[in-house]
Amino acid sequence: MSGPRMTVVDCGPLTLDKAKLVTMAPGTVSIPTTVAIFDHPKHGVILWDTGCWEDVADPDGPGAYWGEGIKTAFGAEAFTRDMAINRRLDRLGIRTGDVKYVVYSHLHLDHAGGMSYFPNAVHVMQRDELRYALCPDPWIRPVYVQNDFRDLHRLNILEIDGDHDLFGDGTFQLIKAPGHAPGMQCLMVTLPQRGRFILGGDIAHQRDQYEAMIPMPWDYSCNLMSRSRNRIKQLERAGIEMFLCHEPGEFAALPGNGTWWE
Ligand SMILES: [Zn+2]
């Protein structure tokens, strides 16, 4: 291997009313939760998001990891322990201890769930997100699962505030994109052969929603969401492809099943 490369895995399949993702939308959807794995010759293994914690595979009920009723509400019945990021890495021959950086789009339950697998990594998140996740407004509490943050005070956190060039070489650029969450961010990557593209996180849950500027029921601020989407849309207009975390067709367009982009 000469340069960095990337593959993706699904660490949180969900089947739920589309209205839970896209305000007022009819029907039901089955979606992936995209976790990107970068293997970097200089900086080690870098993760973009971490999916759901393994105990989400347990039956819903009193004492459930996410809190009673939340697994059912988000339709995580298809999630198994084999889909958690530790097992996904294991099948790729990567040890959790090889992971040097964990970069979070935001800290909702389907993105920050795997945090505790990586006690020795640098955990990269927006300052606003970190602070808000630990003390969210009551209406949004179900998606910030405090169980996910149980080891947070022991981790090496790289708090960033705004756009950030992670390695100072323009190859991993974080773009702050608040709205869905106060500290949502997108990752603009440049790979040597594939070139530049954006992992959009939850800038929107679905592509039709993104195009039509429809909010999500759990958006922290629709005003900020509009501005952030406009910013990312301009980058797409300029020719940089963007992939949403939970859009099945976009997950399928990324390299998976043992294939990599270089
Ligand atoms: Zn999400």
Quick: pLDDT tens for 153-173. 999 999 999 999 999 999 999
Put simply, whether the predicted model's pTM sits higher than 0.95 gets the answer: yes
Q: What is the average per-residue pLDDT within 225-237?
A: 98
Span from the CA of 244 to the centroid of ligand 1 (angstroms): 9
pLDDT digits (tens, 9 = 90+) for 61-116: 999 999 999 999 999 999 999 999 999 999 999 999 999 999 999 999 999 999 99
Using one digit for the tens of pLDDT, what is the confidence trace for 122-138?
999 999 999 999 999 99
Q: Could you tell me the distance, in angstroms and rounded to a whole number, from the CA of residue 106 to the centre of ligand 1?
A: 8
How high is the pLDDT of residue 2?
75
The residue to which tokens 């988000």 are assigned: 74
Q: How confident is the model at residue 3 (pLDDT cuts 50, 70, 90)?
A: confident
Q: Residue 156: count other Cβ atoms within 10 Å of its Cβ.
A: 12
Q: How confident is the model at residue 190 (pLDDT cuts 50, 70, 90)?
A: very high
Q: How many angstroms is it from 92 CA to the middle of ligand 1?
A: 23
Helices within the chain (DSSP H only): 70-74, 85-91, 127-134, 207-212, 222-237, 248-253
The pLDDT of residue 189: 98
CA of 202 to the centre of ligand 1 (A): 5
How does pLDDT run across 12-56, given as a tens digit for each residue? 999 999 999 999 999 999 999 999 999 999 999 999 999 999 999
Give mean pLDDT, residues 201-211. Answer: 97
Distance from the alpha carbon of residue 2 to the mean position of ligand 1, in angstroms: 32
How many angstroms separate the alpha carbon of residue 35 from the centre of ligand 1? 11
Predicted local distance difference test score (pLDDT) of residue 226: 97
pLDDT band at 1 (very low <50, low <70, confident <90, very high): low
pLDDT at 130: 98
Distance 105 CA to ligand 1 centre (A): 9
The per-residue pLDDT for 257 is 87
How far is the centre of ligand 1, averaged over its atoms, from the C-alpha of 9 (Å)?
A: 14
CATH of domain 5-253: 3.60.15.10
pLDDT at position 258 is 86
Q: What is the 33 CA–ligand 1 centroid distance (Å)?
A: 7
Give dist(CA 258, CA 5) in Å, integer: 12
Mean predicted confidence (pLDDT) in 203-212: 97
pLDDT bin (cut points 50, 70, 90) of residue 147 is very high
Domain segments of the chain as ranges: 5-253
